[in-house]
Amino acid sequence: MNNKLLLKCPPASLLKQIIAMIYDSFLIISILFIGTAILLPFNQGEAVGGVFYSIYLLLLIFIFYSWFWNKSGQTLGMKVWKIRIINDFGLNPAWSICFLRLTFASLPPVFFLLLNRYFQFTEDDKIAAIIAMIFFIASYIWRLFTAYTWHDRLSNTKIIDVSKIPAEKNQ
């Protein structure tokens, strides 16, 4: 697709972005189940856990998004809702930019969880997880007042609405 055409597209609505994330979450949950099933034989069928397991699951999520964004600019959820990620030149983001964007998006909640481990703001892990989600959601609340999220700005990417582009040009 013509990158000049993509650069003229308006920002995707927050609602479309959230719905696409919900669609993608079903795929991601399936991938995480499969990723966990792959590890079970190496752990004699016992439950898998710990820091390395969490990093492994996070890496699977990063690979999922980066693969789709780098190859087509769209995950399956984004494709359904006709939104797309581009860089400042109208191209699909490179692998490094995808990882950077995901890191910026996940940094606030991860940072809070690490601080909570050290300073024990709360003893309850469930409350800590809820607070971490609030930090994640805050970046999308920011999106209500600006055209793009702060992790879009930091990684020089944009989520755009390609629904107005004719189907033959949207390939």
Tens of pLDDT, residues 33-86: 999 999 888 887 777 777 788 889 999 999 999 999 999 999 999 999 999 999
d(C-alpha 85, C-alpha 102), whole Å: 13
Confidence (pTM): 0.82
The whole-number pLDDT of residue 169 equals 57
Tens of pLDDT, residues 14-42: 999 999 999 999 999 999 999 999 988 88
Q: Which of 77, 66, 63 is nearest to 31 (CA)?
A: 63
Tens of pLDDT, residues 99-137: 999 988 888 777 777 777 777 777 777 777 777 778 778
The whole-number pLDDT of residue 1 equals 67
d(C-alpha 77, C-alpha 141), whole Å: 21
Q: Which of 64, 2, 1 is nearest to 30 (CA)?
A: 64
CA atoms within 13 A on the CB side of 64: 21
d(C-alpha 103, C-alpha 57), whole Å: 14
Query: Which residue's structure tokens are 């709360």?
Result: 122
